[in-house]
């Protein structure tokens, strides 16, 4: 049975169509979901795509994380449904508390848009099980507020529990411990600041290294 | 109408690159005495009716859960005395 992946669109979301395309290329089925809906339409997994939901008002991802659909997403995530938050979606996952920490303005203040190398450290999540630990991926970074911050105690917990999914080789935004992607303890929820959905087709991306995230979910047995 | 003010600031241990850039520019303009700047947010909340303790409690809850992110920010709540007569 084909995995059905819900892709949620908020006002100001940009990358929902790229995420849906990536899902399709990987052999799964993409189901668009509008943020005002309350039901996840019986999808098997959810992607919170990148963009600038609500114009980044108040804090990035904060208003979107209070959207009607997010209640269902948080509930489903707690019951084990795979959820991937990319960029703005990662910011939402931190705002809801599904992932620790917060994302703040890049230390260099510039909006950064370029491919970066990240190294996979955890391949036991729903979204990274097709990778090898230590695998290096070339994936576009595209953010103004991608600087991951967390208290020292919070970082110690993250490291002790092995929640880092990927680190930057050459940290572009000041994130603590070079963290580029993070998981929850169960491994169903992953947040990533770079954009794997922009690296699925060599004609328009720097690599096809991002496909593994979508293969991982497409291969999940239901 | 009475107003309640909620100030939200980044915690002292959280890096504030905007504040740092502002301080750098002020220094460049010759204001050498300015050692550091931190930038925050101010929410002015107009309340219909009286600001009772219960209303303040509600606003405090919102300040804690919505207007600020406790991972990176702190908040302070006070009545806008100029508006409240």
pLDDT tier for residue A25 given thresholds of 50, 70 and 90: very high
Shortest distance, CA B72 to any CA of chain A (angstroms): 7
Residues of A near B (CB-CB distance < 8 A)?
58-59, 62, 66, 94-95, 100-102, 104-109, 147, 149-151, 154, 174
Instruction: Indicate yes or no: CB of A58 within 8 angstroms of CB of B18.
Output: no
Specify the CATH number for the domain of residue A35. 3.40.50.880
- Mutating which of B12, B17, B61 best tests the A interface, going by the most A Cβ atoms within 10 A? B17
**What pLDDT shows up at residue A110?**
95
Residues linked to residue A117 through DSSP beta bridges, in sequence order: A138
Instruction: Indicate yes or no: CB of A151 within 8 angstroms of CB of B18.
Output: no
Q: Is the distance from CB of A76 to CB of A37 less than 8 angstroms?
A: no
Tell me which chain B residues have a C-beta less than 8 angstroms from the C-beta of A106: 17
Instruction: Indicate yes or no: CB of B17 within 8 angstroms of CB of A95.
Output: no
Tell me which chain A residues have a C-beta less than 8 angstroms from the C-beta of B64: none
Which residue among the candidates A121, A145, A197, A198 is catalytic per the annotation? A197
CA distances from B58 to A202, B5, B28 (A): 52, 13, 44
> What's the number of CA atoms in the CB half-sphere (13 Å) around residue A1?
8
pLDDT tier for residue A220 given thresholds of 50, 70 and 90: low
Look up the domain containing A127 and give its range.
4-218
**What pLDDT shows up at residue A222?**
39
Count how many domains chain B has.
1
Q: Is the distance from CB of A188 to CB of A77 less than 8 angstroms?
A: yes
- Each residue's pLDDT tens digit, A142-194: 999 999 999 999 999 999 999 999 999 999 999 999 999 999 999 999 999 99
- Mutating which of B43, B69, B70 best tests the A interface, going by the most A Cβ atoms within 10 A? B69
**What pLDDT shows up at residue A153?**
95
**What pLDDT shows up at residue B83?**
52
Angle at A123 between CA A211 and CA A153, to 5 degrees: 120
Instruction: Indicate yes or no: CB of B21 within 8 angstroms of CB of A62.
Output: no
- Each residue's pLDDT tens digit, A45-83: 999 999 999 999 999 999 999 999 999 999 999 999 999
Q: Helices A68-78 & A88-96, crossing angle to 10 degrees?
A: 70
**What pLDDT shows up at residue B84?**
46
Instruction: Answer yes or no: is pLDDT of A115 > 70.
Output: yes
Instruction: Indicate yes or no: CB of A174 within 8 angstroms of CB of B69.
Output: no
Helix (H, G, I), strand (E, B) or coil at B80: coil
pTM for the predicted model, two decimal places: 0.93
Average pLDDT (A196-213) is 96
Instruction: Answer yes or no: is pLDDT of A7 > 80.
Output: yes
Percent of chain A scored above 70 by pLDDT? 99
Give the residue from chain B lying closest to A57, CA to CA: B67
Residues in contact with B17: Cβ distance below 8 Å, sequence separation at least 6, in sequence order: A105, A106, A107, A108, A109, A147, A174
Instruction: Indicate yes or no: CB of B15 within 8 angstroms of CB of A59.
Output: no
**What pLDDT shows up at residue B81?**
76
Catalytic annotation present for A87: yes
Distance, in Å, from the CA atom of A178 to the CA atom of A10, rounded to the nearest integer, reads 28
Average pLDDT (B56-77) is 96
Structure tokens given for A40: 């996840």
**What pLDDT shows up at residue B74?**
97
Look up the domain containing B43 and give its range.
2-84
pLDDT tier for residue B1 given thresholds of 50, 70 and 90: confident
pLDDT tier for residue A221 given thresholds of 50, 70 and 90: very low
Shortest distance, CA B71 to any CA of chain A (angstroms): 6
Instruction: Indicate yes or no: CB of B13 within 8 angstroms of CB of A102.
Output: no
Which residue among the candidates A35, A87, A121, A147 is catalytic per the annotation? A87
**What pLDDT shows up at residue A136?**
98
Average pLDDT (A103-119) is 96
- Each residue's pLDDT tens digit, B4-55: 999 999 999 898 999 999 999 999 999 999 999 999 999 999 999 999 999 9
Specify the CATH number for the domain of residue B35. 3.30.1280.10
Tell me which chain A residues have a C-beta less than 8 angstroms from the C-beta of B38: none
Catalytic annotation present for A197: yes
Angle at A220 between CA A182 and CA A126, to 5 degrees: 10
Residues in contact with B54: Cβ distance below 8 Å, sequence separation at least 6, in sequence order: none
Count how many domains chain A has.
1
Catalytic annotation present for A121: no
């Amino acid at each position: 049975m084909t995995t059905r992946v819900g892709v949620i669109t908020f006002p100001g979301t940009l990358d929902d169509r790229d995420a849906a395309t990536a899902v399709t290329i990987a052999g799964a089925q993409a189901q668009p979901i509008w943020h005002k809906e309350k039901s996840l339409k019986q999808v098997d997994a959810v992607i919170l795509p990148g963009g600038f939901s609500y114009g980044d008002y108040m804090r990035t991802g904060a208003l979107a994380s209070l959207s009607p659909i997010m209640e269902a997403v948080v509930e489903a995530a707690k019951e084990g449904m795979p959820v991937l938050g990319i960029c703005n979606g990662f910011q939402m996952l931190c705002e809801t508390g599904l992932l620790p920490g917060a994302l703040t303005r890049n230390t260099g203040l510039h909006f950064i848009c370029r491919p970066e190398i990240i190294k996979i450290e955890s391949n036991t999540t729903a979204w990274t099980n097709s990778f090898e630990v230590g695998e290096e991926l070339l994936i576009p970074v595209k953010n103004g507020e991608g600087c991951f911050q967390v208290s020292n105690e919070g970082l110690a917990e993250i490291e002790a529990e092995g929640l880092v999914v990927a680190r930057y080789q050459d940290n572009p935004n000041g994130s603590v411990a070079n963290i580029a992607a993070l998981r929850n303890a169960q491994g169903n929820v992953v947040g990533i600041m770079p954009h794997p959905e922009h690296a699925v087709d060599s004609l328009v991306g720097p690599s096809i290294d991002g496909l593994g995230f979508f293969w991982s979910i497409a291969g999940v047995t239901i | 109408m009475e107003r309640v003010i909620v100030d939200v600031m980044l915690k002292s241990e959280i890096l504030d690159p905007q504040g740092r850039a502002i301080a750098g520019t002020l220094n460049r303009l010759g204001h050498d005495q300015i050692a550091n700047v931190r930038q925050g947010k101010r929410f002015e909340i107009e309340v219909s009716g009286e600001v009772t303790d219960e209303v303040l409690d509600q606003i405090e809850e919102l300040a804690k859960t919505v207007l600020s992110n406790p991972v990176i920010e702190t908040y302070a709540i006070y009545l806008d005395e100029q508006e409240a007569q």
